[in-house]
């Protein structure tokens, strides 16, 4: 008989849906994944990825057994037993630790599964031996650093508040694709009379559906935000009482604004002054408002600066933390206890995830343990990444659920169960609702979870006793202060609980206020007020999320990510490119061939491609992606990628 199991989607996604999973226990099959209607935020529906989870779970691309690779990249595989696999992984690790030291061991993980056990607890082994890790800067780091400068921490509006807003601004945030449930909450606000705005250089799916679309040139959001604030000040649309009571440095900000005439703003951003005024009027008259700042906009050389500038607008409009970026800093989950970072004797070496390719290429590591991430697709400067992983003097272990680009570079491949095959707890980075995600079916093949593998490895190495702590005991301790309306036992029983959230109107800044002028920035060597970076000429390549894929995942279900690039009709004409032609994008890092879609959804000088597509020449889009970390927070700069574009020969029709 079929049955239904409660789970939470652990994918790197704003929404962290509560799910109802229908399974056939006898056949050990997942039949259907539905949204749980009891969730106040994710409300009973799933995105195309959630809906495809039964197919992804039972996909022919699943890794079901451990394998040793004879020759990399891509050489023949030999199936081995778990005992052989663990012996080999541990022996090589011991050898590298003894001859090269822990710095030459790299643990490389990210948010492929955000489960607290899957992702965090399984880091204990690596923290105990002092392995090098990355700084997790690939996604949102610079925005967090930016908000800390002005607000002390980065949490903001809670999703349940969105329907009550009178204005919702999606600033560099394609929520209609990347955060379907937050978008749905905004649609509810609109039904109650709210206005929706999108700020995006590209006519994104979100921009197409909002009431106002503001289209700055890429990387000019600081100027635009200053323009909006200037108009608010000039037209007396600011909340003076709020500013007086809750902010620091208003005079400095006003002085800066005096340099930002709307003509200057228009020259830099391309946004007409009347549109800047219109946005300022919306902010000044429609309260409360929520400004949803996307991770996407933040992935450029001045992305952190842009987040800083945009975040100050709602303060002028009189709102406590009137932005939403990520609420991960609001919760009191003790992650450093879970990961063992807190107990570790030595601080490990931390390297840039954004610039990792160059380190890999130089041979900085002799042993790399990879899980929950697909670096041979998702990191920038792919040529360096792939050369680095191909080195003969580095032993690469990959523990993943599916064969992917990175498994081609693995010396040892280990099979992992998907989230539907293990029990875990997932904490969202947007909403407060948390529930036990129960195992729906037994692990497929010989797949073994991350905690199991960690403990097996640890039993063959000299490690601290805390590595072997019972995972559920550790979880209980890590959640001790985190749950608002119940305790750990309630969670184990399956109740949906709320996380305690830090207050919205408290500011752990040096002055205890919203620092419009950041004294922290001054101290740390950044400009106290956000700074508009230089923007160059040539083509800027923007890449962003596609509705059917989570980064590189789901190609086994939906087929390859479309290898297309949007080109503005004026650019196409001047380069002699017609719709459907093959074009080659190239720069000093590499090249990729894509099919041109000529469309006015991008302005001249801007190209857009779905992220993580593989080009028609077999090169990943990230072959050309910039790997220079941002100055503020070290974040990624994918959207500052500059490329040349030329018509390519079509291998089939052009001879």
Ligand X SMILES: Nc1nc2c(c(=O)[nH]1)N[C@H]1C(S)=C(S)[C@@H](COP(=O)(O)OP(=O)(O)OC[C@H]3O[C@@H](n4cnc5c(=O)[nH]c(N)nc54)[C@H](O)[C@@H]3O)O[C@H]1N2
Query: Which chain residues interact with ligand SF4 by CB under 6 A?
Result: 9, 11, 13, 15-17, 42, 46-47, 49-50, 180
Q: Which is nearer to Mo ion, 247 or 550 (CB)?
A: 550
399 binds, among ligand X, Mo ion, ligand SF4, none (CB under 5 to 8 A by kind): ligand X
**Dihedral of alpha carbons 10, 14, 18, 20, sign:** negative
Please tell me what DSSP assigns to residue 411.
Answer: S
Residues 134 and 350 sit within 8 Å (Cβ to Cβ): yes
Q: Which x/- pattern over 161-200 shows residues binding ligand X (rule: CB under 6 A)?
A: ----------xxxx--xx--------------------xx
Told to check if 53 binds ligand X by CB under 6 A, we report: no
Looking at the Cβ atoms of 46 and 290, the one nearer to ligand SF4 is: 46
- Closest contact distance (angstroms) between CB of 346 and ligand X is 26
Shortest Å, Cβ 604 to ligand X: 15
Residue 112 touching ligand X (CB under 6 A): yes
Residue 374 or 496: which CB sits closer to ligand X? Answer: 374
When the beta carbons of 86 and 416 are compared against ligand X, the nearer one is 416
Instruction: Name the residue nearer to ligand X (CB basis): 400 or 408.
Output: 400
- Taking the C-alpha atoms of residue 451 and residue 377, their distance in angstroms, rounded to an integer, is 25
Q: Which residue is nearest to ligand SF4 (CB)?
A: 50
> Which residue lies nearer to ligand SF4 by CB, 216 or 610?
610
311 near ligand X, rule: CB under 6 A? no
**Residue 46 contact partner, candidates ligand SF4, ligand X, Mo ion, none, CB within 5 to 8 A by sort of partner:** ligand SF4
In the bound state with Mo ion, the residue whose beta carbon lies nearer, of 291 and 550, is: 550
Say if residues 620 and 374 touch (Cβ distance below 8 Å).
Answer: no
CB atoms within 10 A of CB 445: 12
Cβ–Cβ < 8 Å for 202, 597: no
Residue 445's φ and ψ, nearest 5 degrees, are 55, -140
**d(C-alpha 641, C-alpha 273), whole Å:** 28
Number of Cβ within a 10 Å radius of residue 444? 21
Tell whether the torsion through CA atoms of 206, 207, 208 and 210 is positive or negative. Answer: positive
First-to-final CA distance of the chain: 60
For residue 143, the minimal CB distance to ligand SF4 (Å) is 19
Q: How many CA atoms lie within 13 A of 420 on its CB side?
A: 28
For 276, the token pair is 């800047």
Partner whose binding site includes residue 529, from ligand X, Mo ion, ligand SF4, none (CB under 5 to 8 Å by kind)? none
* Chosen from ligand X, Mo ion, ligand SF4, none, partner binding at 50 (C-beta under 5 to 8 Å by type): ligand SF4
Site for ligand X contains 622 (CB under 6 A): yes
Look at residue 621 and give the partner it binds from Mo ion, ligand X, ligand SF4, none, a contact being a CB closer than 5 to 8 Å depending on partner kind.
Answer: ligand X
Q: What are 655's two structure tokens?
A: 């001879």
Q: Of 52, 139, 168, 474, which one interacts with ligand X (CB under 6 A)?
A: 139
- The token duo for 550 is 């989570």
Between residue 441 and residue 460, which ones bind ligand X under the rule CB under 6 A? 450
Token pair of 159 as six digits: 């999703």
Place of tokens 């590298």: 96
CA distance 404 to 390: 15
Residue 469 near which of Mo ion, ligand SF4, ligand X, none (CB within 5-8 Å, type-dependent): none
**Helix, coil or strand: residue 11:** coil
Closest by alpha carbon to 422, among 12, 118, 27?
118
Cβ of residue 14: shortest distance to ligand SF4, in angstroms? 7
Question: H-helix or E-strand containing 199?
Answer: strand 195-199
Assess 113 for contact with ligand X (CB under 6 A): yes
> Could you tell which of Mo ion, ligand X, ligand SF4, none binds residue 515, using a CB distance below 5 to 8 A set by kind?
none
Interacting partner of 551 out of Mo ion, ligand X, ligand SF4, none (Cβ under 5 to 8 A depending on kind):
ligand X
Give the whole-angstrom CA distance, residue 586 versus residue 621: 10
Residue 42 C-beta: closest distance to ligand SF4, Å: 6
Nearer to ligand SF4, 180 or 565 (CB): 180
593 binds ligand X (CB under 6 A): no
Q: Which does 199 bind (CB under 5 to 8 A by kind): Mo ion, ligand SF4, ligand X, none?
A: ligand X
Interaction partner, residue 622 (Mo ion, ligand SF4, ligand X, none; CB < 5-8 Å by kind)? ligand X
Tell me the window of 24-32, 413-421, 468-476, 565-573 that interacts with ligand X (CB under 6 A).
413-421
Binding footprint of ligand X, residue count (CB under 6 A)? 63
β-sheet bridge partners, residue 213: 198
d(CA 368, CA 364): 10
Q: Tell me which residue has its CB nearest to Mo ion.
A: 139
Build a one-symbol-per-residue string for 257-296: x at contacts with ligand X by CB under 6 A, - elsewhere: -------------------------------------xxx
C-alpha 17/C-alpha 43 separation (Å) is: 8
DSSP character string of 305-316: HHHHHHHHHHHH
CB of 49 to ligand SF4, least distance (A): 4
> From ligand SF4, Mo ion, ligand X, none, which one binds at residue 256 (CB under 5 to 8 Å depending on kind)?
none
9/410 with CB nearer ligand SF4: 9
Quickly list DSSP for 237-306.
Answer: -S-HHHHHHHEE-HHHHHHHHTT--HHHHHHHH---HHHHHHHHHHHHHS-SEEEEE-HHHHSSTTHHHH
Long-range CB contacts for residues 203-208, cutoff 8 Å, separation at least 24: 203/600, 203/601, 203/602, 204/174, 204/176, 204/177, 204/544, 205/174, 205/176, 205/177, 205/547, 206/170, 206/173, 206/174, 206/175, 206/176, 206/177, 208/176
Q: Which does 17 bind (CB under 5 to 8 A by kind): ligand SF4, ligand X, Mo ion, none?
A: ligand SF4
Minimum distance of ligand SF4 from residue 130's CB (angstroms): 34
Residues that bind ligand X (CB under 6 A): 12-14, 110-113, 118, 138-139, 171-174, 177-178, 199-202, 204, 216, 218-219, 221, 294-297, 299-300, 371-374, 377-378, 399-402, 404, 416, 418-419, 450, 542-545, 547, 549-553, 611-612, 621-622, 625, 638-639
């Amino acid at each position: 008989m079929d049955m239904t199991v409660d789970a939470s989607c652990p994918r790197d996604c704003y929404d962290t849906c509560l799910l109802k999973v229908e399974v056939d226990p006898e056949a050990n099959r997942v039949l259907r994944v539905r949204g749980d209607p009891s969730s106040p935020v994710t409300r009973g529906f799933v995105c195309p990825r959630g809906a495809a989870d039964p197919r992804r779970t039972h996909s022919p691309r699943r890794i079901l057994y451990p394998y040793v690779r004879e020759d990399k990249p891509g050489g023949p595989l030999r199936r081995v037993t778990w005992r052989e696999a663990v012996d080999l992984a541990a022996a090589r690790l011991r050898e590298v630790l003894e001859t090269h030291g822990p710095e030459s061991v790299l643990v490389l993980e990210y948010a492929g599964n955000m489960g607290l056990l899957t992702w965090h607890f399984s880091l204990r082994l690596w923290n105990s031996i002092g392995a090098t890790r990355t700084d997790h800067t690939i996604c949102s780091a610079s925005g967090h650093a930016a908000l800390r400068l002005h607000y002390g921490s980065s949490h903001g509006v809670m999703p349940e508040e969105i329907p009550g807003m009178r204005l919702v601004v999606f600033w560099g945030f394609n929520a209609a694709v990347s955060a379907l449930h937050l978008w749905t909450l905004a649609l509810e606000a609109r039904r109650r009379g709210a206005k929706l705005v999108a700020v995006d250089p590209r006519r994104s799916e979100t921009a197409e559906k909002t009431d106002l679309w503001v289209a700055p040139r890429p990387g000019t959001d600081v100027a635009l935000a200053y323009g909006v604030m200037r108009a608010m000040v000039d037209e007396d649309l600011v909340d003076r009482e709020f500013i007086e009571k809750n902010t620091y440095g208003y005079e400095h900000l006003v002085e800066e604004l005096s340099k930002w005439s709307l003509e200057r703003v228009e020259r830099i951003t391309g946004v007409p002054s009347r549109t800047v005024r219109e946005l300022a009027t919306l902010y000044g008259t429609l309260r409360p408002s929520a400004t949803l700042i996307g991770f996407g906009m933040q992935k450029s050389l001045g992305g952190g600066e842009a987040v800083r500038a945009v975040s100050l607008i709602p303060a002028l409009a009189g709102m406590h933390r009137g932005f939403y970026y990520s609420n991960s800093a609001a919760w009191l989950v003790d992650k450093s206890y879970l990961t063992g970072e807190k107990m570790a004797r030595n601080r490990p070496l931390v390297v840039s995830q954004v610039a990792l390719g160059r380190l890999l290429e130089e041979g900085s590591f002799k042993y790399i343990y990879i899980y929950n991430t697909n670096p041979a697709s998702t990191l920038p400067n792919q040529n360096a990444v792939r050369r680095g992983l191909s080195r003969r003097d580095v032993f690469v272990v990959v523990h993943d659920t599916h064969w992917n680009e990175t498994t081609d570079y693995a010396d040892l491949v280990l099979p992992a169960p998907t989230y539907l095959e293990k029990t875990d707890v997932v904490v969202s980075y947007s909403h407060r609702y948390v529930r036990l995600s129960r195992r729906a079916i037994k692990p497929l093949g010989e797949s073994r979870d991350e905690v199991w593998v960690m403990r097996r490895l640890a039993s063959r190495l000299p490690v601290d006793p805390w590595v072997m702590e019972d995972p559920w005991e550790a979880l209980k301790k890590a959640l001790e202060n985190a749950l608002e309306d119940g305790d750990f036992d309630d969670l184990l029983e399956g109740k949906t609980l709320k996380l305690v959230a830090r207050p919205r109107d408290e500011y752990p800044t040096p002055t205890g206020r919203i620092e419009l002028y950041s004294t922290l920035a001054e101290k740390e060597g950044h400009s106290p007020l956000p700074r508009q970076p230089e923007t160059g000429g040539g083509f800027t390549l923007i890449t962003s999320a596609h509705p059917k894929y989570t980064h590189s995942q789901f190609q086994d279900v939906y087929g390859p990510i479309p290898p297309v690039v949007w080109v503005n009709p004026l650019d196409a004409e001047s380069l002699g490119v017609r719709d459907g032609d093959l074009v080659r994008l190239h720069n000093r890092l590499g090249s990729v061939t894509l099919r041109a879609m000529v469309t006015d959804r991008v302005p001249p000088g801007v190209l857009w491609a779905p992220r993580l597509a593989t080009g028609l020449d077999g090169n990943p889009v990230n072959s050309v992606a910039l790997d220079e970390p941002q100055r503020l927070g070290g974040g990624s700069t994918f959207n500052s990628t500059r490329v040349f574009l030329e018509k390519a020969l079509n291998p089939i029709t052009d001879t």
